[in-house]
């Protein structure tokens, strides 16, 4: 017998039935009925953020570190519009979110009422799907459907816009049953013929490479296990996108490091020269491919993706396999074993010899200093001092993000949370809050820049209120470093508005919030200061004053190919003459 | 309604060299609020062309509508449009009627022509040749109704232009597959 209740009660009931234990939100007029229901229960922890963008990123951090759906609850109008950046971020990086927004009562919709906005219209372009609930009878189905759509197939954000009168209306609640959606049926298993064709191509390959992405992480931990098994079975080298770090362990023998614009020399050259590319849950983003007409010109390409529209979007592939990474990897391992396939070992040995020559370039090396803290050194020390702990890393966006990806190494999936597709400055602190709530005992560190951190610094209050001991490790070079690097490359070193003027005193700022502040500018004192940060039981802002003009290398300059990388110049104090490297066509790109 | 082609970029060079083709896509959708906006928004957001678009309910009880879109682009772009449309949650089925065997396309137009004397006679004669019906007439004007392939309507409108074309209104393409099977 379905229970009769109000729409607001249905929302909370559905969250419980969906296994939600934590939601992020901010109250306001149009969601007060739901907040009133939250007041009367204790099963769901509501985390009060300080800005709705923070709620969205916190839900992302929660989702990515736990594999669950992230949930946020915000009011109409500005509450909804403030989530747009976070929703778009989740869409680009395929993060499952359910965002519940309040709306003005149905009879006021369209009247430009106070705090009214066309939420479903505005979020149509930045969600996987969205709903405006006009009748309380539809609400239970839509709530459960939203979780299903958000978490299955290629995951993504879903918005449910609920007018205030619907929240007050009474109706019958139905718990989630087996979802039989009318139109939405993601394809999980690939055709066996495609699997067999892939295995055949892999057995024939002379210079193969795995190129994996965030899809492996999204598919769940078993996909990472299967990936490791397949790499071990074949002996093929493997590289990954920024989003896929941790699926294959960085300490694994076949790991080439990250690929792409700031990837390693060996990963990018191997991508360029391979004869078989096996793309698993990756989408040939422009940060990965560089110049498309020179992208891996001599290779056959297999593309495994759950999203059919990702295949042949940017790069034409020879063998498309539509399915869930985990399912497809399982089938590949099974068929490879059943058919007793083995790699072409002599060719593979020669391929590894070639790769090892690229490795010997040590493309992540930088000029060490005993006077100033090099940002790479700071990340390396942070890694050395935290690698044996239960650690989750988030980042903001910019140079520090790339240095973190290069020098912090991940052996497990779901440990690394960064804004890859959208590149959202201000992502890291709220994401760290979300990750810390999902893993209360873990060490959660936001590797930040001094510019990015100020974009959502208000969330320090959230960390304090909920006693979340997140550590913010700022690589402070007093520049929007990546902007400055590009201005050096493209605009003759005219650093237009990329200097971080009028910075706050981050130690005092931490103290003003009720957190601990630590500052360090001496490489000799860095280890002790990091130790102090780790051991402090509470949130910390660590102001790490680093070399102000260090650039992030290696780099594929815009419009160039994988085998046309810029490496750091380790010998010459004057550094590289960067201004003339990118041609006019390349300057047009982003 | 067409978007100008984007300037050549080294990022897109590999896929942009192909020939532009015209295709008609038939999209069966749940007839729910906002579904047309989703489809149209997909086209504008990703820079695809819409040459014509028609939409109407086709099964009232099942809440189904059919959207017929005439579009153009390189074969890779058409393929992308097809799969991007399939990704939309309320979409049941996408069929490319241009590649998926034989299909019929028709469009209806109403054409207002003004003129006296010889022009009037010319207009009537041409209308007969095109099997256009007169649905409104005054001493100095006609409104013709005609249906056919989009090219036929283009042709008729072009012929009416020197005679005294005032304005015209056309429905956009409706399409269906030949034979006993559904689309």
- CATH code at A497? 3.40.50.970
Instruction: List residues in chain A touching B: CB distance below 8 A.
Output: 120-121, 124-125, 128-129, 132, 149, 182-184, 286, 289, 291-293, 295, 307-309, 311-316, 559, 585-586, 588-589
Of B30, B41, B87, the CB nearest to A307: B87
Of residues A194 and B102, more confidently modeled = A194
Task: Give pTM, 2 decimals.
Answer: 0.94
Mutate to test the interface with A, among B9, B63, B79 (most CBs of A within 10 A): B9
All residues at 6 or more sequence positions from A8 whose CB lies less than 8 Å from its CB, including other chains: A33, A34, A36, A37, A167, A168
- A503 is a domain residue: yes
- Looking at residue A137, the DSSP 8-state letter turns out to be G
In chain A, % of residues over pLDDT 90: 93
Residues of A in contact with B80 (CB under 8 A): 309, 312-313
Residues A328, A219: Cα–Cα separation, whole Å = 11
Report the pLDDT value the prediction gives residue A39, as an integer from 0 to 100. Answer: 97
Q: Is the pLDDT of residue A588 over 70?
A: yes
User: Is residue A180 included in any domain, yes or no?
Assistant: no
**Residue that finishes a domain, picked among A301, A332, A359:** A359
Could you list the residue range(s) of the whole structural domain that residue A499 is in? 375-545
Q: Cβ of B15 and A128 within 8 Å? A: no
The overall average pLDDT reported for chain A is 96
Farthest CA pair distance, chain A: 78
- Which DSSP category does A83 fall into? T
Which residues of chain B make contact with A289, given a CB cutoff of 8 A?
A: 11
Residue with tokens 């060299």: B17
Joined together, the tokens standing for residue A144 give 């459960």
What is the crossing angle of helices A526-535 and A375-386, to 10°? 50
Query: And the tokens for A243?
Result: 């989003």
In a domain, A163, yes or no: yes
- Cα A219 to its chain centre, rounded Å, is 14
Residue A500 has φ and ψ, to the nearest 5°, of -80, 85
| B61 close to A (CB below 8 A) | no
Domain assignment of residue A557, yes or no: no
Q: Do A585 and B10 touch (CB under 8 A)?
A: yes
| ipTM for the complex shown | 0.91
- CB spacing of B11 vs A589 below 8 angstroms: yes
Give CA–CA dist B139/A160, Å, rounded.
58
* Mean pLDDT along residues A322-351: 97
Give the separation between CA A211 and CA A284, rounded to whole angstroms.
10
pLDDT at B85: 98
The 10 Å Cβ neighbour count of residue B56 is 11
Residue range A247-298, pLDDT digits in tens: 999 999 999 999 999 999 999 999 999 999 999 999 999 999 999 999 999 9
Lowest mean pLDDT among A154-163, A180-189, B94-103: B94-103
If asked whether residues A243 and A305 sit together in one domain, one would say yes
Q: For the segment A93-104, what is each residue's pLDDT rounded down to a tens digit?
A: 999 999 999 999
Kindly report the nearest CA distance between residue B32 and chain A, in angstroms.
Answer: 10
- Nearest alpha-carbon partner for A373 in A553, A520, A546, A552: A546
C-alpha to C-alpha distance for A72 and A417, rounded to whole angstroms: 18
A74 shares a domain with A120:
yes
Domain boundary among A328, A359, A390: A359
Q: CB–CB of B70/B173 below 8 Å?
A: yes
Mark whether A164 and A196 lie in a shared domain.
Answer: no
C-alpha closest to that of A500 among A480, A530, A471: A480
DSSP secondary structure letters along A98-121: EEEEEE--GGGTTS--TT---HHH
Verify that A25 and A139 share a domain, yes or no: yes
Residue A563 placed within a domain: no
Chain A: nearest CA to B99, how far in angstroms? 18
- B131 touches A at CB < 8 Å: no
Number of domains in chain A: 3
Residue indicated by tokens 């939601």: A23
**pLDDT value, residue B94:** 96
- The span from the CA of A463 to the CA of A433, in Å, is 7
C-alpha A433, offset from chain centre:
15
Q: How far is CA A178 from CA A133, A148, A465, A532, in A?
A: 21, 10, 39, 51
Q: Is the pLDDT confidence value at A50 over 90?
A: yes
Cβ-defined contact of A316 to B76 (cutoff 8 Å): yes
Q: Kindly tell me the burial class for residue A59, based on how many C-beta atoms sit within 10 Å of its own C-beta (0-12, 13-18, 19 or more).
A: buried
Is residue B9's pLDDT more than 60?
A: no
- Kindly state whether residue A561 falls inside one of the protein's structural domains: no
Tokens representing residue A288 in the block:
């990965």
Query: What CATH code is carried by the domain that includes residue A304?
Result: 3.40.50.1220
Q: Domain check: are A539 and A440 in the same one?
A: yes
In a domain, A369, yes or no: no
Give the pLDDT of residue B16.
55
CB contact under 8 A, A149 and B89: yes
At residue B15 the predicted structure's pLDDT band, cuts being 50, 70 and 90, is low
Tens digit of pLDDT for each residue in A96-138?
Answer: 999 999 999 999 999 999 999 999 999 999 999 999 999 999 9
Asked whether the beta carbons of residue B10 and residue A314 sit closer than 8 angstroms, the reply is: no
Reported as a pLDDT band with limits 50, 70 and 90, residue A344 is very high
Residue of B89, B91, B93, B94 for testing the chain A interface, max A β-carbons within 10 Å: B89
Residue from A431, A383, A386, A425 nearest A406 by CA: A383
Question: A524 with A413, same domain?
Answer: yes
Same domain, residue pair A155 and A252: no
Q: B12 pLDDT band (50/70/90 cuts)? A: very low
Q: Are residues A353 and A389 in the same domain?
A: no
Same domain? For A166 and A228 the reply is: no
Best of A157, A260, A293, A556 to disrupt the B interface (most B CBs within 10 Å) is A293
Cα gap A223→A413, rounded to integer Å? 10
Instruction: Give chain A positions within 8 Å (CB) of B7.
Output: 588
A183, A307, A308: residue with CB nearest B91:
A183
A537 located within any domain: yes
Q: What is the pLDDT of residue B10?
A: 41
Q: State the sign of the Cα–Cα–Cα–Cα dihedral A405, A409, A411, A417.
A: negative
For chain B, domains (ranges, CATH) are 19-96 (3.30.70.260), 103-176 (3.30.70.1150)
Q: Do A183 and B89 touch (CB under 8 A)?
A: yes
B117 vs A: CB within 8 A:
no
Same domain, A461 and A503: yes
pLDDT band with cut points at 50, 70 and 90 for residue A577:
low
> Quick one: A10 and A145 in the same domain?
yes
**pLDDT of res. B3:** 41
Q: How far is B129 from chain A (nearest CA, A)?
A: 46
B chain contacts of residue A316, beta-carbon cutoff 8 Å: 14-15, 76
Span A479-534, pLDDT tens digits: 999 999 999 998 999 999 999 999 999 999 999 999 999 999 999 999 999 999 99
Same domain, A494 and A418: yes
How confident is the model at residue A571, as a pLDDT? 62
CB-based burial label for A268 (10 Å; 0-12, 13-18, 19+): buried
Query: Which two structure tokens, joined as six digits, stand for A316?
Result: 């034409």
B182 at interface of A, judged by CB pairs closer than 8 A? no
Find the angle CA(A167)-CA(A173)-CA(A178) to the nearest 5 degrees. 125
* Cβ-defined contact of B84 to A129 (cutoff 8 Å): no
Closest CB from B30, B38, B79 relative to A124: B38
Q: Nearest CB to A309: which of B14, B15, B84?
A: B84
Reported as a pLDDT band with limits 50, 70 and 90, residue A578 is low
- Report the relative pairing of strands B21-30 and B64-73 from DSSP bridges: antiparallel
Candidate from B10, B83, B87 with C-beta closest to A291: B10
In chain A, the residue whose alpha carbon lies closest to the alpha carbon of B77 is A313
Looking at residue A424, the DSSP 8-state letter turns out to be -
Number of A to B CB contacts under 8 A, please give it: 66
Confidence of residue B5 (pLDDT cuts 50, 70, 90): very low
Tokens, residue B183: 């689309």
Tell me which of B7, B12, B14 to substitute to probe the interface with A (most A C-beta atoms closer than 10 Å): B14
* Active site residues per annotation of A: 52, 114-115, 164, 482
């Amino acid at each position: 017998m379905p229970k009769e209740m109000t729409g607001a009660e249905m929302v909370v009931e559905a969250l419980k039935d969906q296994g939600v234990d934590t939601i992020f939100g901010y109250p306001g007029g149009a969601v007060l009925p739901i907040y009133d229901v939250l007041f009367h229960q204790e099963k769901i922890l509501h985390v009060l953020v300080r800005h709705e963008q923070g709620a969205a990123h916190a839900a992302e951090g929660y989702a990515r570190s736990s594999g669950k759906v992230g949930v946020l609850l915000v009011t109409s109008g500005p509450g909804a519009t403030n989530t747009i950046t976070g929703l778009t971020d989740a869409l680009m990086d395929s993060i499952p979110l359910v965002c519940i927004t309040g709306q003005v009562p149905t009879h006021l919709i369209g009247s430009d009422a106070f705090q009214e906005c066309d939420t479903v219209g505005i979020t149509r372009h930045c969600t996987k799907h969205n709903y405006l609930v006009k009748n309380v009878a539809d609400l239970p189905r839509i709530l459960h459907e939203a979780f299903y759509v958000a978490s299955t197939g290629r995951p993504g954000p879903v918005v449910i816009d609920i007018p205030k009168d619907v929240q007050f209306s009474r109706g019958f609640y139905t718990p989630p049953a087996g979802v039989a959606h009318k139109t939405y049926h993601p394809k999980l298993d690939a055709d066996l013929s495609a699997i067999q064709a892939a295995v055949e191509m892999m057995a024939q390959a002379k210079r193969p490479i795995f190129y994996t992405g965030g899809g492996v992480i999204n598919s769940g931990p078993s996909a990472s296990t299967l990936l490791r098994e397949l790499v071990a079975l074949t002996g093929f080298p493997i590289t990954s996108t920024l989003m896929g770090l941790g699926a294959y362990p960085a300490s694994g023998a076949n790991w080439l490091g990250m690929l792409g614009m700031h990837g390693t020399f060996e990963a990018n050259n191997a991508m360029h020269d391979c004869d078989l590319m096996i793309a698993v849950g990756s989408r040939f983003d422009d940060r990965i491919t560089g110049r498309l007409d020179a992208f891996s010109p001599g290779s056959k390409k297999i593309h495994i993706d759950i999203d059919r529209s990702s295949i042949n979007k940017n790069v034409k592939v020879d063998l498309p396999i539509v399915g869930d990474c985990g399912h497809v990897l399982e089938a590949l391992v099974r068929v490879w074993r059943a058919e007793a396939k083995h790699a072409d070992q002599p060719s593979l040995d020669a391929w590894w010899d070639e790769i090892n020559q690229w490795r010997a370039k040590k493309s992540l090396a930088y000029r060490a200093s005993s006077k100033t803290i090099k940002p790479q050194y700071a990340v390396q020390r942070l890694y050395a001092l935290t690698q044996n702990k239960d650690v989750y890393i988030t980042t903001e966006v910019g140079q520090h993000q790339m240095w973190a990806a290069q020098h912090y190494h991940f052996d497990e999936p779901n440990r690394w949370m960064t804004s890859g597709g959208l590149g959202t400055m201000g992502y890291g602190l709220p994401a760290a809050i979300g990750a810390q709530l999902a893993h209360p005992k873990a060490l959660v560190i936001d590797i930040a820049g001094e510019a990015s951190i100020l974009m959502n610094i208000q969330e320090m209050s959230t960390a304090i209120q909920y006693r979340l001991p997140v550590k913010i490790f700022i690589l402070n070079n007093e520049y929007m470093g990546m902007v400055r690097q590009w201005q050096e490359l493209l605009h003759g070193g005219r650093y237009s508005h990329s200097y971080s003027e009028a910075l706050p005193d981050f130690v005092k700022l931490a103290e003003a919030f009720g957190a601990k502040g630590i500052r360090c500018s001496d490489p000799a004192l860095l280890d002790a200061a990091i130790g102090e940060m780790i051991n402090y039981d509470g949130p910390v802002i660590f102001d790490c004053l680093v070399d102000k003009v260090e650039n992030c290398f290696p780099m594929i300059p815009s419009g160039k190919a994988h085998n046309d990388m810029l490496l750091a110049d380790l010998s010459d104090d004057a550094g590289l003459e960067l201004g003339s490297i990118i041609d006019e066509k390349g300057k047009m790109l982003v | 309604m067409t978007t100008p082609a984007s300037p050549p970029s080294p990022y897109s060079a590999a896929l942009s060299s192909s020939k532009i083709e015209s295709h008609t896509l038939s999209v069966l959708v749940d007839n729910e609020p906002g579904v047309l906006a989703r489809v149209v928004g997909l086209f504008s957001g990703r820079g695809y062309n819409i040459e014509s678009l028609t939409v109407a309910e086709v099964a009232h009880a099942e809440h189904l509508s059919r959207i017929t879109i005439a579009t153009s682009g390189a074969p890779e772009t058409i393929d992308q449009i097809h799969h991007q449309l399939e990704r939309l949650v309320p979409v049941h089925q996408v069929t490319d009627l241009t590649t998926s065997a034989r299909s019929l396309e028709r469009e209806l137009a109403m054409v207002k022509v003004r003129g006296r004397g010889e022009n009037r006679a010319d207009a009537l004669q041409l209308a007969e040749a095109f099997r256009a019906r007169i649905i409104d007439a005054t001493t100095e004007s006609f409104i013709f109704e005609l249906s056919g392939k989009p090219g036929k309507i283009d042709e008729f409108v072009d012929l009416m232009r020197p005679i005294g074309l005032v304005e015209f209104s056309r429905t956009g393409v409706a399409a269906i597959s030949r034979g006993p099977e559904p689309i």
